[in-house]
Amino acid sequence: MGSIAPRMIWKLKIGKYQLTLKRIVGRPKRTFFSQTREYFSYLRKIAEDRRFSGNPVSRVFRRVFETKKIRQLFGINLLTIAVVSGAISPSTSAISSGETAEITTISPRIIQLTTQNSARWPVEEVRITQGYHRYHKAIDLAEPVGSPVYPIMDGVVESISYQRFSYGNHIIIDHGFGFKSLYAHLSKIVIKKGQEIDKNTVIGLVGNTGRSTGPHLHLEVYDNGQPFNPLTILK
């Protein structure tokens, strides 16, 4: 029987991780130490190569996961190489050899959003005599009798009512998507139900009809039936 060739074993232990390489004596393979030197020389070249973008350490690990050269050098699991590399590879300052660290500056493109106020005041002269509160879910705008009243937004006339009490003569306009507005105490209504109107359409004239103590426009706005302060969209 021929004799069994003795084996040479190298072990590198870092913490709980152990890297073991075996070689049969006489086989024409590079030693572990030459492979290690070649490996770190390869990583150093990557870190110093300015053609690659990003931090030097990031460049090294990106190349570790993108290339097959590491597996060709060691012939072991890629994950083990990554763990060992993180433990024993030189620090960023050592890799850069005293050079200034590369800083990547991100300059986001600033997009200016220009918004146009889609709501307008329903009267030409704004003078609020009563604001929005718990017992008055509207705003009152004082104007002389006969002053024109405009819709705050484009829409369709949903209803027209003539009353001696409460809102007096008033209009409800549907602006779509559950948004509506109400204009009360008008002296005259000059539009029709179902009519399409825009913000420049005169819908009526300021008056003192219904439950009112003086000439003014009573304005209410609703979002899916829920009243909210008109000033949130008018200011």
* pLDDT tens digit sequence for 119-146: 999 999 999 999 999 999 999 999 999 9
Amino acid present at 14:
I
- pLDDT < 70: residue spans in the chain: 1-36, 39, 42-43, 46-117
3-state secondary structure of 183: strand
Domain 128-234 has CATH 2.70.70.10: yes
Rounded CA separation 185/209 (Å) = 5
Rounded CA separation 19/207 (Å) = 92
Rounded CA separation 178/227 (Å) = 11
pLDDT tens per residue, range 16-46: 556 555 554 555 556 666 666 776 776 677 6
In the chain, what are the domain boundaries?
7-95, 128-234
Reference 185, options 120, 118, 129, 235; nearest CA is: 129
